[in-house]
Structure 1
Amino acid sequence: MQTASTNICERMGCFQKLSAFKRRAVISCHLCNKSICEISLLLNIPLSTVSGIITKWKQLGTTATDRPHKMTERGQCMLKHTVLRSRQLSAEPIA
C-alpha cells in the first residue's frame, strides 16, 4: 500500500532522471507514429516529459541529458584579447 507522500511524489513529478533506454523508447514509439498520450501511458512517463524528449530530439538530434557548458569568464577574456590583438584574422583561425 502506498502512502500519500509517495503517491504525490509520483504524480507531482519529483525529479527522476530517465535512463537512456527510456529516452530511446520514447523516440522509437514516436517514429512508429504513436501519439504523445499513448507513449506516456505505455511507458508510464508524464506527458510533458515525453513532449520535451521529442522536441529536444527534433531540434538537436539527440536525447542526451547533458548540456553544453557556457563559456567561462576567463575564456571570454582570452577570446576578446585575441580578437582585439589581431583584427585582420577571420573567424576560422580565431576559433
Structure 2
Amino acid sequence: MQTASTNIGERMGRSQELSDSKRGPVIGGQLGNKSIRDISWLLNIPRSTVSGIITKWKQLGTTATQPPSGRPRHMTGGGQRMLKRTVRRSHQLSAESIAKDLQTWCGLQMSPTTVRRELHGMGFHG
C-alpha cells in the first residue's frame, strides 16, 4: 500500500498538468460514488486537484485542458523578429507603413498603435 509521504517525488508540482490517464480514474471514482478524499488518497493526487477535475467535468462535460480565454497579450516570437528586422533595415519608416509591410510580407495584421507599442517594448523609441 502506498502512502502520500512515500511518494513525495511523484507528487505534482504547481506548474505541471495532470495527464489524461490520471483524470479518467478521478471521474471513474466520482461515478463509483467515492468521496473526494478517497479518490485523492487512492490516486495520490491533492484533494483540490480532484475537486477541480470533478467540477470541470460537471460544468463542461470534459476534463480536457481548455485554451485560455481572451486575446493574447503579446506578439509571437516570429512576428517580433520580423518587426525588429524591418525597423533595423530602415529607421525612417512610419508605424503605418511598417504595419502595411508586415501585412504584405508575412500576413500579420497589426494596427499602427500595436506596432508602436511592440517597438517601444523592444527598446526602440522615438
- TM-score normalized by the length of structure 1: 0.58
Residues matched between the structures, number: 68
What is residue 38 of structure 1 aligned with on the other side?
Answer: 38
What is residue 23 of structure 2 aligned with on the other side?
Answer: 23
Q: How far apart, CA to CA, are the structure 1 residues paired with 2:18 and 2:65?
A: 9
Indicate whether 1:50 and 2:50 are aligned: yes
Could you list the per-position Cα deviations for residues 29-84 of structure 1 after superposition, in whole angstroms to 9, with x for gaps in the alignment? 10000000000000000000000000000000000113255357xxxxxxxxxxxx
Would you identify which runs of 4 or more consecutive aligned residues in structure 1 move more than 6 Å?
A: none
Could you say which structure has the higher helix fraction? Answer: 1
Could you list the per-position Cα deviations for residues 13-34 of structure 1 after superposition, in whole angstroms to 9, with x for gaps in the alignment? 5332111010011000100000
Q: How far apart, CA to CA, are the structure 1 residues paired with 2:14 and 2:42?
A: 20
Larger radius of gyration: 2
> Per the alignment, in what secondary structure is the counterpart of residue 15 of structure 1?
coil
Q: Greater relative contact order (Cα 8 A, min sep 6): structure 1 or 2?
A: 1
